[in-house]
Structure 1
Amino acid sequence: MLMFKDRVVIVTGAGGGIGRVYALEFAKRGAKVVVNDLGGSHTGQGASSKAADKVVDEIKAAGGVAVPNYDSVEDGEKIVQTALDNFGRIDILINNAGILRDVSFGKMSDNDWDLIYRVHAKGAYKLSRAAWNHMREKSFGRIIMTSSAAGLYGNFGQSNYGSMKMALVGLSNTLAQEGKTKNITCNTIAPIAASRLTESVMPPEILDQLKPDYIVPLVLYLCHEDTTESGSVFEVGAGWVSKVRLERSAGFYDKNLSAEKLKDNWGKVESFDNPSYPTSASESVSGILAAVNNKASETGASPLVRPPKPAAPAAAAAAPSASVVVDGFESSKVFQTIQKTIQSNGADLVKKINGVYLFNVKNGSKVQSWVLDLKNGSGSISVGSESKGKPNVTIAVSDDDFTQIMTGKLNAQSAFMKGKLKIQGNMGLATKLGSIMQKSKL
């Protein structure tokens, strides 16, 4: 049983529906719960303390620990302060509160738009921002954003609601990246469940099959201390859970692109016969540039990123256990650190990455090569350009730029975009390299 003993959880919109079930289940598993609910209607009107109080009473009657909070999610600082005043910390935040103001776009008022924004997007921001630095200080945090199929795919009459629900996906993905080094995860769920928000748009026979209880297991799993999943989107309901990701077609390239050429080749633009699945902004950009370079090479056009000059031949490839230090190259310190990472975690890295990387590092007129093998045995790194088979990825960079990247003084994506960091080969494997490089930063 996944337990949350002494973890402090804030659940917004916890006075009924899915939020109530979240609060009850977290408390049942040992968490201390802040039950937040403004007590207004499903369209955002009115306020009452009864909804939150009732759930708190249920939790206490079952032997759990909980306190109520009646603030609007726009006052996120007050809700987080309730957790701090009563329990001294905040570990888990479930951004669940929501309202509906459904109307066709042509009839939508500014108030219809603004109110949905304030509750869904601004509310989740205010809560997450108020909790963020407290989570960072404790090096632990779990945040859930609640999106919707209306956000992922659009839905007639819900342009306001769908816009804010998709905005939460972008917020979640960014927080997942910024929280990674502090053990803070952030994921998005798109639930389908019977609640006061769905009772007006779904028939009773369908609502009967969509108990809120079916949503809770996924959220419990994502919020547990042993779960490292982050930056993901899940659809969940009726006992079914699936992960959603972005898919990109292989696309069409022409150096002299025109609207007419697009018309003639539109089938290639929208064909998903050979797709890719970017998972970050840098992977998206680098993937596009790699595709353009490959196409340019096939047609004889000049690539956007020119390939590196061949490395100066090394006298001999060093044994994996030999020193990776080369006089005159500050990058040696980087490769020494990578070598230590491999010695302690090489087998796992080989299993995870399964690729060979060739680094061509230039210092003045000299070019020195290192081979990082995360495909064979327990992994190795050696001086020289020889490897077991053709490298999957070739990286060309100056000694100074590489050192700055690995000391955090130069952003790798920025260096790539400016042509300071040149990458050839499998871009998917190139992005995987980030995990070991992060561990090996100076």
Structure 2
Amino acid sequence: MRITADQRRRRLVVHQLALGVGRPGRPEATTPEDVTERLVALHATDAPSVHLAVLARVPGLTLDDVRDALFVRRSLVKVLGMRRTMFVVRRETVPVVHAAAALTVAGRLRARLLKELATLPTDPPVRDPEALLAAAEAQVHEALVTHGPLDGAQLSRAAPLLRTAFLPTTAKAWDVRRTMTSPLLAVLSAEGSVVRGEPRGAWSSPRHVWSPMTDWFPGGIPETDEEAARVELARQWLEAFGPATVADLKWWTGWSLGQARRAVAALDVRQVELEVGPPGAAPVVADGMMLRSTDLDAALDPAVDDVVEGHVALLPTLDPTTMGWTARDWYLGPHREQLFDSAGNAGATIWWQGRIVGAWTVRPDGEVVWRLLEDVGADAEASVAAEAARIGGLLGGVGFTPGYATPLYRELRA
């Protein structure tokens, strides 16, 4: 069976973008938790992206709705997981991500930090990296238990060993004095002993507080078998992102190819041919897969034409859909150089009927500005303008600065 790029884009709209529209067998999403469940995980490295990813998909939800899910109900949790990336997942999914991805990341981060403490010049000098790390961890946990949620600066004052600094070893501009605060908090976050909490100040602020994970899970994150967790995470991902390739799954999870193949082997999947080339080009086909339970016909049914045709979305930096596959030409087309930075991070994108056609951003004064990279017609332009106005209204005229600057982003902000 071959699944065309156009069919994949139709399914993408129905399953990942137009979540506020219900259909038989798949009710509309009405909460931030619903959106997160449909997408498995929301990228959270860039603070505003979580809120904007939700607002883009369900008209009627607000910034406060997302905040309440994260920090009042705590039904959504920030975890350092796949690919050493910060994500937001449903509370029920935390044990799966923790066992399937985070613990492996934690081991690598801890080993790297110990190696740096042993080999790089520090101030003060470190004679026993293991002992220093254990003492610094104890200070962090004591500070959080004693004082409550603290941001990085507050923690470094309450836990003085965090101020242990790595000294420059070259004359390069990026090689500067840096403390142990950020790398150790990354280790503890991946290990599941601390959790990133609410930002200080505005909803979009990158300055956040840390709390003990026991504030979210009083008994700690429930233990889950690692192999079983990988199978479950692969199942959830295929349900949301399939049909896809094993290479896509490997990239998204950060697993080895062997780990991805073993997880897939435990699932009831169907092998298919996937068109992975750009819109309008000669078909490029790759070996793909999807769960046998995938309701592909529902996404292709003419009954959803009114959902797909004319659908527009303004997705944020590092949106889970934009970053969902490693082979992206079938929805990205020729726009990679303008919409991604040199490290492969996606900027904020405009989607039209399941493919990327432009970029947008919010200026410091709150104005939403955008640019199309191809001619999609007057009706599409009007729809983009209306969606930009809707998003701008939800932000209340308040601007913010995304954490990743793409070439087109710099032009729009000028």
TM-score by length of 2: 0.27
Bigger Cα Rg:
1
TM-score by length of 1: 0.26
